[in-house]
Amino acid sequence: MRGPAFTSGRALWEASVTWMLLLVGLVVGMVSGVVGIGGGILFVPALVWLLGMDQHRAQGTSLGALLLPVGIFAFLEYYRKGNADIRVALLLAAGFLVGGYFGAVGAQYIPELWLRRIFALTLVGIGGRMWFLQ
């Protein structure tokens, strides 16, 4: 039987993960708002690296966070196959909602050339990391 220490430790861990996911959603929303990219290019690697999700689950969860109105059928297919986490998707979406707004506001003050460079570096950095890691 598991005692109160286990239960409170688990609750603390779940609370920490919840805040981490909200923060990831916020940061991804801000970066996406600044560079104008879809959050999936950032959410998928974050879910793989931070939560240890496999690629299928990370992609399905990202769809749930970003595209429920537009990509509902794609999300449902991932979900039916067990490759989407609704709770994680909703937490990411909540952070993205706020972060996307502030990222878009901030982007208005970044010169076009620097915005293009930030976008390119974001793509190269994430692509390089995904290419070279197993």
**Averaged pLDDT for residues 4-9:** 68
According to the model, what pLDDT value does residue 78 have? 86
User: What pTM was computed for the model?
Assistant: 0.64
Residue with tokens 């990219």: 37
**Averaged pLDDT for residues 43-69:** 83
**Averaged pLDDT for residues 4-31:** 85
Report the alpha-carbon distance of residue 23 to residue 17 in Å, rounded: 10
**Averaged pLDDT for residues 46-72:** 81
Report the alpha-carbon distance of residue 39 to residue 45 in Å, rounded: 10
